Amino acid sequence: MNRGILYAVGAYFLWGIFPVYWKLIHVVPAIEIIAHRVVWAFLFVLLVVSIRKDWHWVRPAFRAPRILFTFSLTGLLLFINWLVYVWAVNAGYIVDASLGYFINPLVNVVLGVLFLRERLRLWQWIPVGVAALGVLYLTVSYGALPWIGLTLAFTFGTYGLLKKTAQLSSIHGFALETGFLFLPAFIYLLGLEFTGQAAFPHGSELETILLMLTGVATGLPLLLFGAAARLVPLSTLGFIQYIAPTLQFLIGVLVYGEAFTPSRMVGFGMIWVALLIYSVDGILARRTSLVVSPAD
């Protein structure tokens, strides 16, 4: 199996079971959790880079304004994505969050066409339209845009696009983007401590340990994803990504008992149909290419 595909499967599986992790520390405010994610993730990636003695990229990166701009932007996208997701999970909107990652594969398709000049067949455009109708239906039935799902889909889709075209490797880029966020996050945590509002390390032992491990829990799947994004086409990443929202959706409904109303069923159903059409078309296209291509 392609190494990039293995990286992608590992990343999306870990993301799929993330709701359980965040629920274990749901008493901690989402913004504080994110600050810990940033601080511990940055320390985690620094440890990895130090063990590898892999510092040659730092000076050239800081001399390249385009690289600095790109990874300051990916850092901002990560922050927004993490904050919305953790808040949604701990506020009881896991199903809404899973919607974002069901939509994300099709967002990847559109971004690939717009910015990477990837060409789509008719049967790839049709699911994009069906999914858009599904989002429209959910908007009408909710009486408002499903902003949680859309925010997650577009922030992470754009993040993947930037990582795909970035000039740094996965681990170097992750170090740089978390480095941009580290100081504000650390200052915020210090402020909470000085004002007596910090959960760390004043909560239970489990909360303290889980907050410390947010670096590993955050860094590992992101490093896997960053590596996969450079090795696998965006359209393929979109297909593999179904693992994460499916697990999230099942956890939300079956484990935490979130409501799945008839109107939600219709809207989600349209998006699932869109993903099915897209997936079947992709499988058939790959089979056709294997038949047409001459043997090595």
In the structure, how many helices (H) and strands (E) does the chain have? 14, 0
Peptide bond preceding 201 in cis form (omega within 30 of 0): yes
This prediction's pTM: 0.86
What are the structural domain ranges in the chain?
3-284
- Rounded Cα distance between 10 and 17, Å, is 11
| C-alpha distances out from residue 80 to 35, 176, 181, 214, 245, Å | 12, 17, 12, 16, 18
Q: How many CB atoms lie within 10 A of CB 241?
A: 25
Give pLDDT, residue 143. Answer: 77
Helix (H) or strand (E) holding 57: none
Region of residue 144 (left: phi > 0; alpha: psi -120 to 50; beta: else):
beta
Q: Quick one: pLDDT at residue 296?
A: 42
pLDDT value of position 293:
46
| Mean pLDDT (10-residue bins), the chain, 296 residues | 83 92 94 96 93 92 92 95 95 93 83 80 81 87 86 91 83 92 96 92 89 91 81 72 88 93 89 85 67 46
Is 126 in a helix, a strand, or coil? helix
Q: For the chain, percent helix, then strand, then coil, each to nearest 5?
A: 80, 0, 20
How many Cβ atoms are within 10 Å of 190's Cβ, its own excluded? Answer: 12
